[in-house]
Amino acid sequence: MSEARAALEARRADAVARLAHLDDVLAGLRRDRGADSADDEHDPEGATLSSEWSRLEGLRADAERDVAETDAALGRVEQGTYGVCIDCRRRIPAARLAARPDATRCVACAEKAGA
Ligand SMILES: [Zn+2]
């Protein structure tokens, strides 16, 4: 299971780096925009900034979720339950874990669960 751990740790490091980068970019936007210029209608660049802002916030939420999910998967490695489907309790195929190291269900159960 040490391969799984290494893959998860690499994935976590990547997500943490993305999160840090997005925090930097968002902090930069906040600085450029100033604290009280949320008046999009009278600011020709406001609307563009707002949509860029929501896009970045979305990416940041994704990165945060990736960190949480890989943390949870690393916890399962510690407990020895990693790679076992949470629904049918069968082993999740290695190919699926390679593609989705944080998968908690086998393909069949994931489809049933709509995930
Ligand atoms: Zn299953």
How far, in Å, is the centroid of ligand 1 from the Cα of 102?
14
How far, in Å, is the centroid of ligand 1 from the Cα of 61?
27
How far, in Å, is the centroid of ligand 1 from the Cα of 54?
35
Q: What is the DSSP string of the chain?
A: -HHHHHHHHHHHHHHHHHHHHHHHHHHHHHHHH-TT---GGG-TTHHHHHHHHHHHHHHHHHHHHHHHHHHHHHHHHHHT-TTB-TTT-PBPPHHHHHH-TT--S-HHHHHHHT-
Query: How confident is the prediction along the chain (115 residues), in pLDDT tens digits per residue?
Result: 578 899 899 999 999 999 999 999 999 988 887 755 555 555 666 677 788 889 999 999 999 999 999 999 999 999 999 999 999 999 999 999 988 888 999 999 999 998 5
Q: What is the pTM of this model?
A: 0.77
Q: Which of 64, 60, 53, 61 is nearest to 22 (CA)?
A: 60
How far, in Å, is the centroid of ligand 1 from the Cα of 57?
33
HSE-up of 90 (CA within 13 Å, CB side)? 9
How far, in Å, is the centroid of ligand 1 from the Cα of 111?
9
How far, in Å, is the centroid of ligand 1 from the Cα of 81?
13
